[in-house]
């Protein structure tokens, strides 16, 4: 019979548990209610996130292999992957967010692909594809798609720009704010009616910029600038959705 320390969560070997009798299991759980003697389908059948060494009391009697839930019992149990307490998970997320440091990249714009994508060349002759953060311009085949690209080119083509960024998108592009001559190019595109404020990703912007971008779009719409000359302009995300159908 195992001796249980009530002040410590004792990891228990699921694999070894498969050789225990029902009486053994009953004895262990009666002395140590914080130990849940559970088994997986087989010794090698552990799923991703499984408590390989299970000792999380919140799952006693109803543990499912592969469970990735949270509990408040075993924050120090290094073997219990699914037993991370919610508070610890929140702290970990906050720490991760704090670790996101704004990086600064400078270079010459050598290509303007569309109204929200450019390529720059830095002083080491390294090229970087940049996706302007917080905005979404019309696709090239959409109305005002070419106009949006030309407007962006008039602002940045051949110029030295600064890019402030913290992430890359799924295509490997740097997502950031492009600054030229002290002005936020992303915001200028929205003000001119050449791009939408991309609300789907607005949480990536500061609270101040969210307000600025939203106000700029509202004003461009009121003044019927650029793409807002159409009564019902199709958003680029809707255009992409239709293209994939």
Specify the pLDDT at position 166: 93
**How far apart are the C-alpha atoms of 6 and 57, rounded to whole Å?**
12
CA distance 106 to 110: 12
Which of 29, 34, 149, 173 is catalytic? The answer is: 173
Is 234 strand, coil or helix?
coil
Give buried/exposed letters for 8-29 (b at 16+ CB in 10 A, else e).
ebbbbebeebeeeeeeebeebb
Q: Token pair for residue 206?
A: 């500061």
Q: Give the phi and the psi of residue 111 in degrees, each rounded to 5.
A: -155, 140
- Decide: pTM greater than 0.75: no
**Catalytic site includes residue 241:** no
Residue 58 class from Cβ within 10 Å (0-12 exposed, 13-18 middle, 19+ buried)?
Answer: middle
Active site residue 204: no
Q: How far apart are CA 185 and CA 188, in angstroms?
A: 5
Count CB-CB contacts under 10 A for residue 63. 20
**Closest by CA position to 69, among listed 77, 78, 80, 53:** 80
Give the least confident one: 52-56, 118-122, 193-197.
Answer: 52-56
What pLDDT is recorded for position 8? 38
Among this protein's residues, is 29 annotated catalytic? no
pLDDT band at 180 (very low <50, low <70, confident <90, very high): very high
Top-confidence residue, 225 or 73: 225
CA 240 to chain centre: 21
- Residue 241 pLDDT: 79
Distance CA 145, CA 149 (A): 6
124 versus 73: which is more confidently predicted? 124
What are the tens digits of pLDDT across the range 109-166? 999 999 999 999 999 999 999 999 999 999 888 999 999 999 999 999 999 999 999 9
Instruction: Assess contact for 148 and 195: CB atoms under 8 A.
Output: yes
Contacts of residue 144, defined as CB under 8 A and 6 or more positions apart, other chains included, come to 138, 194, 226, 227, 230, 233
Please state, in angstroms and rounded to a whole number, the distance separating the CA atoms of residues 230 and 226: 8
Confidence of residue 190 (pLDDT cuts 50, 70, 90): very high
Dihedral of CA atoms 172, 175, 180, 185 in degrees, nearest 10, equals 130
- Annotated catalytic residue: which of 139, 221, 240, 241? 139
- 213-224: per-residue pLDDT in tens? 999 999 999 999
Give the residue ranges of DSSP H helices in the chain: 14-17, 22-31, 86-99, 145-156, 185-191, 207-222, 236-244
Residue 70 has pLDDT above 70, yes or no: no
In order of start, what are the domains of the chain with their CATH numbers?
1-87 (no CATH), 103-233 (2.40.50.90)
Backbone dihedral angles phi then psi of residue 242, each to the nearest 5 degrees: -70, -35
């Amino acid at each position: 019979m195992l001796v249980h320390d009530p002040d410590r969560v004792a990891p228990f070997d699921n694999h070894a548990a498969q050789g225990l009798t029902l009486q053994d299991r009953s004895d262990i759980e009666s002395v140590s209610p914080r130990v849940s003697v559970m088994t997986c389908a087989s010794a090698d059948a552990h799923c991703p996130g499984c408590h390989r060494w299970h000792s999380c009391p919140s799952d006693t009697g109803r543990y499912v292999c592969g469970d990735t839930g949270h509990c408040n019992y075993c924050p120090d149990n290094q073997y219990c992957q699914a037993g991370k307490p919610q508070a610890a998970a929140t702290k970990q997320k906050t720490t991760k967010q704090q670790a996101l440091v704004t990086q600064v990249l400078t270079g010459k714009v050598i290509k303007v692909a569309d109204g929200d994508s450019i390529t720059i060349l830095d002083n080491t002759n390294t090229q970087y594809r940049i996706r302007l953060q917080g905005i979404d311009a019309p696709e090239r085949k959409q109305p005002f798609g070419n106009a949006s690209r030309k407007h962006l080119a008039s602002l940045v083509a051949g110029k030295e720009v600064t890019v402030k960024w913290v992430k890359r998108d799924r295509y490997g592009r740097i997502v950031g704010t492009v600054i030229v001559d002290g002005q936020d190019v992303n915001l200028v595109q929205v003000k001119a009616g050449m791009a939408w404020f991309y609300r789907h990703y607005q949480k990536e912007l500061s609270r101040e910029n969210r307000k600025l971008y939203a106000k700029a779009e509202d004003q461009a719409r009121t003044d019927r600038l650029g793409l807002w000359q159409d009564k019902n302009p199709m958003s680029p995300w809707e255009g992409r959705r239709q293209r994939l159908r």
